[in-house]
Structure 1
Amino acid sequence: MQHSFRNRKRRQLKAEINVVPYIDVMLVLLIIFMVTAPLMNLGVDIELPKSSASAIQNDKEPVVVSVDKDGAFFLTLGASAREAVDEETLVNKVSAFVRQNPQVPVMIGGDERVDYGRIYAVMVMLQQAGAPKVGLMSQPTQPDAKR
């Protein structure tokens, strides 16, 4: 009977998972990824243009479209005087001026009490006129002396 007891002890199966090979594989993969990651170039090589110009300074007089509190349009083309215009005249004049001066800045100055939809309509009209970029004008805030 003792003989059969020894055989049972020797023949019992282990219920453990041998994780040593998995750790080895994981470490090898980690080393491979660490070595190859710096070699992978996922970006695009481009050369940005160099410019020494300041952000807001322009040599040309801008086209300024003003919208007063009642929603009326006023147009200033370069150094010319400000004139009241309707929507069709605004598009025609700005279109002709932008065709002659393609790099001219186009700005919108709207009263803070005017409806945002009116300012948006001016932006759409300037897009139809062919203005490549449109900027919005604002007044700088005054520091409060009481604080």
Structure 2
Amino acid sequence: MNRLRLLAVGTVLMFALSAAAQQTTTSPDAHAAAVAPVEQHLKMLSEKLSLTADQQDKARPILQEMHNGSQKIADDQSLTPDQREAAMGPVFMKADKAVREFLTDDQKKKLDDLEAQMHSGSHDNPHGTTAAPQQN
């Protein structure tokens, strides 16, 4: 189950990163470019989980740390794709665990459902694009 959660969280992050990557190519401000995927991810989670303002404030630095860590791994050209995937696992799991600490039971269930939906390759994903099924 942890592997499924990892893949789902990774998929959610990758959608956020891919959407941000399209925006960052035209943005000269590196700080704004780094913040954009975090804010998009936070917005999506806020909408899907009905996060309170306090929960959003707690989630923002967790998502920023996850983004920074995954971006560093993605940029490391010395790693093979399999090594990158393996290295991102702990980054995603740490963020997932940290966010769950302040979610209500209902929000945790919604997050489980969202992660399962993302893992299944459902067409109804948070960014309105078609998700490709995960390969194991």
Q: Same fold (TM over 0.5)?
A: no
Name the TM-score class by shorter chain: under 0.3
Q: RCO higher in 1 or 2 (8 Å CA, sep ≥ 6)?
A: 2
TM-score, normalised relative to structure 1: 0.23
**Greater Cα radius of gyration, structure 1 or 2:** 1
- Flag the structure with higher helix content: 2
Q: Which has the higher strand share?
A: 1
